[in-house]
């Protein structure tokens, strides 16, 4: 059960209308290494993970939904005052025709989100290494997004998200070590 507090995990501010940046941020909204994929991956994997680390997947998976909400807010704020001509110039003409200002799960190139983006092997160590890789790819994407905007206020929110990816990666690394130590301790002859 969740209790929803109606505020973002971290404040989202933008200083200007920027539909091109909004289009690029869709990568973290509906892309392979974006927040939706991460949330669903972790919350799905928790069913086959040992009890010692199940809480980690639950906690991080839930947090990824909070990050998804932050990305959605960024996209909304970056496009709320955009004209159809500005959206078209930013490469969002097709998006506008299909969705107007509604958010739709797709990546920056316009490909819709697909369940093939998420993995669940059923082997805890393999799944955790997948999770580490996903977090590192998301961290890199956030850095590239930061590099592509001169909006200091937007950069602030993106830097927060980038740093959370680092923390998640570290936590998954710790979980791998916990499970490896547990496997070694269970040797029975």
Catalytic residue ranges: 35, 64, 67, 135, 165, 168
Structure tokens at 181: 């130590």
Q: 135-167: buried (b, 16+ CB within 10 Å) or exposed (e) per residue?
A: bbbbbebbeebbeebebeebbebbebbbebbee
Helix axes 51-79, 152-185, angle to 10 degrees: 170
CB-facing half-sphere around the CA of 107: CA atoms within 13 A: 12
């Amino acid at each position: 059960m969740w209790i929803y507090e109606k505020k973002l995990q971290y404040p989202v501010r933008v200083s200007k209308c920027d539909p091109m940046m909004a289009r690029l941020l869709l990568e973290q909204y509906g892309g392979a290494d974006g927040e939706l994929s991460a949330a669903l991956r972790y919350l799905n994997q928790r069913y086959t993970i040992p009890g010692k680390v199940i809480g980690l997947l639950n906690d991080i998976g839930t947090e990824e939904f909070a990050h998804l909400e932050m990305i959605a807010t960024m996209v909304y704020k970056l496009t709320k005052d955009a004209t159809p001509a500005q959206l078209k110039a930013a490469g969002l003409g097709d998006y506008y025709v299909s969705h107007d200002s509604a958010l739709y799960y797709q990546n920056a190139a316009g490909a819709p989100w697909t369940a093939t983006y998420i993995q669940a092997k059923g082997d805890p160590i393999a799944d955790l290494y997948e999770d580490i890789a996903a977090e590192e790819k998301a961290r890199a994407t956030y850095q590239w997004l930061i590099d592509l905007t001169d909006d200091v206020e937007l950069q602030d929110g993106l830097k927060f998200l980038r740093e959370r990816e680092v923390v998640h990666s570290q936590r998954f690394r710790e979980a791998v070590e916990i499970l490896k130590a547990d496997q070694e301790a269970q040797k029975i002859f």
